[in-house]
Homo-oligomer: A and B are copies of this chain.
Amino acid sequence: MKQITDGELKTASLEQLKETCGALREEIFRTVSVCGGHLSSNLGTVELTVALHRVFDFPEDKLIFDVGHQCYTHKLLSGRANVFHTLRKRGGISGFPKRSESEYDCYDTGHAGTAISAALGFAKARDLKGENYNVIALVGDGSFNNGLVYEALNSIKILDSRVLIVLNDNGMSISPTVGGMHELLGEMKGEPPLEDVKLFERFGLKYSGVINGNDLSELLPALEEAKEALKTGSVLLHVSTKKGQGYSFCECAPVETHGVSPAQKHSEYCAALGEELCALAQTHENIVAVTAAMTDNLGLRPFFDRFPERAFDVGICEEHASVLCASMAAGGMKPYYAIFSTFLERAFDEIIHDVCAQNLPVTFCIDRAGVSGADGETHQGVFDLSFLSFIPNLTVAIPKNIAELRAMLRLSADFDAPLAIRYPREGTEGEISDVEIGKFEVLHSTTSDIVLLAAGERCLSLAEKVRAAALSEGMDVSLVNARFLRPLDEELLSSFRGTVITLEDNVLIGGLGDCVARFYRKRGYQTRVIGFGFSDCFLPHGEPSELMEDFGLNFENILAAVREAYARR
């Protein structure tokens, strides 16, 4: 679509603004249909974003998105209409706010709950520097469950600054929003009870709402009023929007249309998680499942449907979910906590402090491990092997395919210690193999002393290709499925004396290669270890295959390492 300038937006009539909203909605729908991305959340916030751009002066004023999966309209209004078709593509614009992309994006996001803290930081910096601009945090009600939001609210009086919090209340996280705060916000949608208003006032916020966030004629005066009130203090503007607004099938299915992917090519690991947990729960009455607002994306819907009394969606509360699992385990249950790899970073301390220090049998089912692709930096699950590798008492498993995930889950049911299983979103069902804790699987054994040691489906697939190419050049190499990071298969590793080439879809630092090399160092073996994995940087958005190629898991380079090892035998 044609770029709309700030000037055009400031002078347009209400009717023209409504037309603009229609055009923006169409553009978002068309682009997401091709590129994939967050659909319903963006469709729901078109009017709200247009109104914010009308009333405030960006980039002087600062607009901070919580999570950021509702920033498409903002991108279209801030000089990026001409590149919007490159959304989420390698080298194209990101699906999240990025400071490196535009001065209109003042703060990068991707994980939930950071926006109010970030707004307070900007506002305080402004005050200290004697500057004069407005700071707005746009936060969904799903994030309002997150502890970070509460920590920030608690800080408003401490920091004594002025921010505008726009609460975009659509009743949804990715799953429907749950819990006490959700009920409180819901109650306010009638005539807000005085005590609820007073609650926000006690935290230092002037409450205003509830405004229909899909109606510009309500929004514009409400934002003007909030802007005025912001001169003397902090304001919470409670706005109600409809996720998926304007496309009836999105409005009716906000969970399914929250994130949209271009046609799926493969099976999803998460479906196997749901199936296996359901099967296991029939014979293991102590199995419970926990998720932080992502029941469907993690494949847990069948479990939630069949065992509702043993299934818990606690909202976007990754830390709490982790402690809940630890304590349910201490109370005799067998909890499974399903979560995306990068979101598990939020529960890092609780994995150590609550689960592993007490050696409790919690199973972490870590989805979107490895490079996740189009969501970019904040969603690339390339640190988990590193941050799990050094936690005492923890076993870390990496299935080679969906069938092996199933086998690991079956094994987990009677495993009485902390266990993490990490896997990517998509893959192939593959063959069922027997799994034993701490035992690798030899896939091809040769007499050559060169071993490709690969973890996970993507790396094994790459290793297979390298092996085939090597074979065609007359070089034979062994191939091993390194399905446990902790404990390593020390017996098998002890048998390798030549060159071990490790492949992992994790950053190289602190991952499989380092663990294998440490083992040989400790034993005093001369076995050479050559590690391939992601380089020491944040991976941008793009196709997983492109990112692997460009950031360290490069077919040619690995083949070259095989050639070099072969030559020096």
Quick check: A145 and B151 within 8 Å, CB to CB? yes
Q: B residues within 8 A CB of A330?
A: 99, 106-107, 118, 121-122, 125
Q: Is A266 an interface residue (CB 8 A)?
A: no
Q: B residues within 8 A CB of A158?
A: 178-179, 312-315
Closest chain B CB from A102 CB (angstroms) = 14
Bound complex: CA A309 to CA B327 (Å): 41
Q: Quick one: which of A165-189 are within 8 Å of B by CB? A: 178-184, 187
Quick check: B390 and A128 within 8 Å, CB to CB? no
Quick check: A156 and B128 within 8 Å, CB to CB? no
Q: Quick one: which of A8-66 are within 8 Å of B by CB? A: 64
Contact with A151, one of B152, B286, B314 (Cβ below 8 angstroms): B314
Q: Given that A154-B181, A326-B121, A345-B348 are contacting pairs, would A378 and B390 also be in contact in the complex, using a CB cutoff of 8 Å?
A: no
Closest chain B CB from A126 CB (angstroms) = 6
User: What is the chain B residue whose CB lies nearest that of A376?
Assistant: B357
Q: Quick one: which of A273-315 are within 8 Å of B by CB? A: 286, 288, 309-310, 312-315
**Segment from A243-251, A404-412, A490-498, A510-518 that makes contact with B:** A510-518
Contact with A509, one of B122, B518, B536 (Cβ below 8 angstroms): B518
Bound complex: CA A378 to CA B392 (Å): 13
Q: Given that A154-B181, A202-B180 are contacting pairs, would A327 and B120 also be in contact in the complex, using a CB cutoff of 8 Å?
A: yes
Q: Which of A120, A153, A323 has the most CB of B within 10 A?
A: A323
Q: Is A403 an interface residue (CB 8 A)?
A: no
Contact with A315, one of B149, B155, B325 (Cβ below 8 angstroms): B155
Quick check: B121 and A328 within 8 Å, CB to CB? yes
Closest chain B CB from A358 CB (angstroms) = 5
Closest chain B CB from A105 CB (angstroms) = 11
Bound complex: CA A124 to CA B326 (Å): 12
Q: B residues within 8 A CB of A313?
A: 158
Bound complex: CA A107 to CA B355 (Å): 10
Q: Quick one: which of A485-535 are within 8 Å of B by CB? A: 507-510, 513-515, 517-518, 521-522, 528-531
By secondary structure, the A interface counts as helix
Bound complex: CA A445 to CA B301 (Å): 64
Bound complex: CA A332 to CA B62 (Å): 13
Quick check: A157 and B183 within 8 Å, CB to CB? yes
Q: B residues within 8 A CB of A346?
A: 319, 348-349
Q: How many chain A residues touch B (Cβ–Cβ < 8 Å)?
A: 112
Interface 1/0s, chain A 530-564, versus B by CB < 8 A?
Answer: 11000011100000000000000000000000000
Bound complex: CA A154 to CA B537 (Å): 36
Q: Which of A178, A187, A328 has the most CB of B within 10 A?
A: A328
Quick check: A154 and B125 within 8 Å, CB to CB? no
Q: Quick one: which of A68-97 are within 8 Å of B by CB? A: none
Bound complex: CA A392 to CA B325 (Å): 31
Quick check: A315 and B118 within 8 Å, CB to CB? no
Interface 1/0s, chain A 336-359, versus B by CB < 8 A?
Answer: 000000110110111011101110
**Segment from A191-199, A417-425, A452-460 that makes contact with B:** A191-199
Quick check: B331 and A126 within 8 Å, CB to CB? yes
User: What is the chain B residue whose CB lies nearest that of A352?
Assistant: B345
Q: Is A117 an interface residue (CB 8 A)?
A: yes
Quick check: B345 and A353 within 8 Å, CB to CB? yes
User: What is the chain B residue whose CB lies nearest that of A506?
Assistant: B390
Closest chain B CB from A143 CB (angstroms) = 12
Quick check: B323 and A121 within 8 Å, CB to CB? yes
User: What is the chain B residue whose CB lies nearest that of A62?
Assistant: B331
Q: Given that A154-B145, A510-B390 are contacting pairs, would A128 and B288 also be in contact in the complex, using a CB cutoff of 8 Å?
A: yes
Q: Which of A111, A178, A521 has the most CB of B within 10 A?
A: A521
**Segment from A256-264, A381-389, A432-440 that makes contact with B:** A381-389
Q: B residues within 8 A CB of A537?
A: 392-393
A-B residue pairs in contact (CB < 8 Å), sample of 28: A107-B327, A107-B358, A110-B353, A111-B353, A118-B330, A118-B354, A120-B327, A121-B324, A121-B327, A124-B331, A125-B330, A129-B332, A147-B150, A147-B151, A151-B314, A153-B180, A154-B320, A156-B180, A180-B204, A343-B349, A346-B348, A346-B349, A383-B390, A386-B390, A390-B510, A393-B538, A514-B518, A521-B531
The 6 closest A-B pairs by CB, nearest first: A147-B147, A121-B327, A125-B331, A195-B195, A151-B320, A151-B317
